[in-house]
Amino acid sequence: MDSLNYHHLMLFHAVVREGSVSAAARRLGLTPQTISMQVKELEDAVGEELLDRSGREVRPSAAGRIVFGYAERVFAAGEDLIDAVRSGVAARTTLLIGVSDGFPKAIASALVEPLLLAETAVRVTVDEGEPDHLLARLAAQEIDVVLSDAPAPTGFRTRVFNRLLGESGVSWAASPEVAHDLRPGFPGSMEGVPIVVPHRGHPLRTHIDGWIDAGLDTRADVGSAVRPDIPRGRPRIVAEVADQALAIALAQSGAAVAPVPHVVLRAEGARLGLRRVGRIAGFRERFYVITPERRLRHPAITELAESARRALFRGGDARG
């Protein structure tokens, strides 16, 4: 491809955003035939089919998702250019962030905030979703970085790199009233208490299932001896959720007790209205930034990782 027609790219971008050629035509005031013809010229230029056509609706092909990701950056940069010229302020750095469902939103907010306050302003776009979907978008270069509570799986079809932001202990947390009642007799007070847990397959869920099934004291590591002088209580699982924000909301309401990382309780516990009931021993939750390159070349991603270590994990740890 010797050159790129950006008008064709704009039409392709509009088709994907609107979901159909006819919808893009209505928005742009063009005929569907004109848009189809010029998108076809873009496909000829890049040498790949960019749209999977099924009836009136269209979806980007594998190559189309890559082109769409670049188009998002191109047009965001164009908006920045206009803003910079009109305001006389240097253009913003654009950062597209994917946040997995299980990544605590309080941590994500604390990571993004320094980027917004930096002297070199950053335009941040944040999307949430399931880890596999976000990793696929990362591989297609539709987003720059993924924040996740689990590393990319070994053998993932596209090479990506996991960088540990930090780790944290985890405790059962609840509304102030519920925590006040449960804390004095913990862990025996957990008998029959409704709890919210992650979906099966999550490392924390495996740990919780282990001590429930084995009847272990929540202050003892799985597999360790249980002290006979400490009464044990088995909670009951009432909900499985992928999004930790929902688990926290259920804990806030007093409907259930939820596992919450110490780093979240320390930074946001008062604002969220959560109090610690007792520690989940023997488990530490880890948080990752996943990038398509081994080196953190994007200045905003570098700042994001460094702010996590400075403000949240204090050198990589949050013991609580």
- Higher-pLDDT residue of 219 and 313 is 313
Say what the pLDDT of residue 180 is. 94
| Tokens 């006389």 belong to residue | 88
Say what the pLDDT of residue 116 is. 73
CATH number at residue 12: 1.10.10.10
| Separation CA 298–CA 17 (nearest Å) | 26
Does any domain span residue 98?
Answer: yes
Are 77 and 40 members of one domain? Answer: no
Are 12 and 144 members of one domain? Answer: no
| Separation CA 43–CA 77 (nearest Å) | 23
- Residue 228 confidence (pLDDT) above 50: no
Does any domain span residue 78?
Answer: yes
Residue 306, amino acid: E
Does any domain span residue 1?
Answer: no
For residue 198, give the nearest of 187, 186, 209 by alpha carbon: 209
| Separation CA 147–CA 138 (nearest Å) | 11
pLDDT band at 237 (very low <50, low <70, confident <90, very high): very high
| Separation CA 126–CA 112 (nearest Å) | 9
Q: Report residue 188 as tokens.
A: 């025996």
| Separation CA 59–CA 54 (nearest Å) | 8
Are 211 and 182 members of one domain? Answer: yes
Does any domain span residue 320?
Answer: no
Are 54 and 75 members of one domain? Answer: no
| Separation CA 256–CA 204 (nearest Å) | 17
- Tally the domains of the chain: 3
Lowest-confidence pick of 112-116, 171-175, 203-207: 112-116
Are 74 and 147 members of one domain? Answer: yes
- Higher-pLDDT residue of 120 and 64 is 64
In sequence order, which residues have a C-beta less than 8 Å from that of residue 185 and are 6 or more positions away?
231
Expressed as residue numbers, the domain containing 24 is: 6-66
CATH number at residue 192: 3.40.190.10
Are 173 and 159 members of one domain? Answer: no
| Tokens 């924000």 belong to residue | 245
Q: Report residue 276 as tokens.
A: 């610690």
For residue 107, give the nearest of 315, 319, 307 by alpha carbon: 307
Say what the pLDDT of residue 222 is. 34
Q: What is the pTM of this model?
A: 0.64
For residue 108, give the nearest of 248, 283, 272, 287 by alpha carbon: 287
- Residue 311 confidence (pLDDT) above 80: no
- Residue 23 confidence (pLDDT) above 50: yes
